[in-house]
A and B are shown apart, each in its own frame.
Chain A
Amino acid sequence: MAVEFDKLKKIIEDAFPDAVFRLEDMLGDADHYGLTITSSVFEGLNRVKRHQIVYKALGSLMGNELHALSIRAYTPQENQKKES
């Protein structure tokens, strides 16, 4: 079970064209990734729904080829608040 960094990055870029995100291969094994993503598509959605959108973009990868993806999903507004 593993997914190449570039492949995963491209899937996220394609699914969330407006997003600013940081993808990390946390253990260096291409199997445990961390994703911090900011996109307007998360507006008005709770955490569960946000994560479900990301999972949906990954299709069958998640839980199969990809063992772990830690997700933090923010709206642009929340991100601004966090950094100010």
Chain B
Amino acid sequence: MTVLWPIAVITIKEGIRNRAIYGISLFALLLLGLNLLIANMAAHDVGKVAVDMALSTISFSGLLVVLFVGINLMAKDLDKKTIYMVLSKPISRSEYIIGKFFGIVLILFSTIAFISIFACACLFVLKAGYATYFPQFSWSLVFLGIFFILITLILLSALSFLFSSFSSTSFITLVLTILSYLIGQSLSDIKALIETSRITGAAVSPITIQVVNVAYYLFPNLSFFDIKTQVAHGVSIPVPTILWTVLYGFVYTSLAITAASLIFRKKEFS
């Protein structure tokens, strides 16, 4: 158990010292600067646009970190065989996965925190300048939105671990993770589409309906964590929903990591 911390530490060091994080953070800062400039072009809903852009910047940057730093860290171990240096110690395969996962979670947490500070500063400046156009603004909602984004990214990382455990190249892992992201975001919409087809009278084959229903439970429904619209309009989220959302994120992530561990146990390194 105590072995998890050293694994996490070297993962973090390797990840943070990688130039990619700086590039992504710089990109995020640029987007936030853009937010400062163009948010006021929205005549009435400056508040909405500002929050939209701020949260979207955080979300997108975080996604880049998951895809290009997170997956990369795991890939390097497997491709360049740096994993030998870890597994030759009294560390089990599961401990390796979990330790690495903690490292990536901490990297995500610190990157998101860093970008969020600037995002909130940006919002603060805009709110001060256009106070009348921020009618239903709530800082606690903004933080909740950021928190939910973090959970999404952690969940996505867990999935990337699962894919790494059986993919033969890091490219396949990347593709699968991106696909999961796209499917996760559109799952609710697709289900709604199937349902409204009944109202609008378009025909949907029963096979499609079944497939969508299965996928709805199998893939992560990332839209549960997407409350950008609600935050932008100051609509508060009921506490039970928050609790269920966090629970869902936690459970799905745990299942993904557990599956990753189990599959990784079978992996051989020749």
Q: Does A associate with B in a complex?
A: no
